Amino acid sequence: MVPKAKELSEGDRAPDFELPSSAGGSVKLSSLRGKKVVLYFYPKDDTSGCTVEACSFRDSLPKFDGLDAVVLGVSRDSLESHAKFIDKYSLNFTLLSDEGLNAHRLYGTWKQKTNYGRKYMGTERSTFVIGADGKIKKIFRKVSPQGHEAQVLAALRS
């Protein structure tokens, strides 16, 4: 039996990972120390809620840049799927491919979900605001995509 990972809390060091990046190569989270990071997990490219969330981050990116924050979206989708999603909606930030669920497991975002009584495993829409020191400053679980970027900006400013 695999032990259950410890649930992350605000103040914890953000677990490090390295994932393939839509910008080419890969991104290692620890390489971004010194910058604030908005790490958001979403279920699937080009679906309604995920598109709302991604376009909100896209439209607000200058505000994130002004706070010296990097926005990274993470899903199980392939880099090819990410490329189509980025092109279709002119996304201006990096998407990471977590097909092996490595980051999902580290951040506790791969959860049992229920839809119309059917239980299945899937991504819990979640956002982690990570400080320049590499510690988690704010955790948003079960995110509603509409207006979420404003919540994240407020957390970065506080």
Single-letter amino acid code for the residue at 73: G
C-alpha distances in Å from residue 22, one per residue of 30, 86, 99, 132: 18, 9, 13, 23
55 is catalytic: no
Is residue 68 within 8 Å of 36, Cβ to Cβ? yes
Catalytic-labelled residue, pool 29, 50, 86, 129: 50
* Structural tokens at position 79: 């880099």
How far is CA 48 from each of CA 2, 42, 51, 73, 120, rounded to the nearest angstrom? 34, 11, 5, 15, 20
C-alpha closest to that of 69 among 22, 147, 138, 144: 138
Active centre residues (catalytic): 50
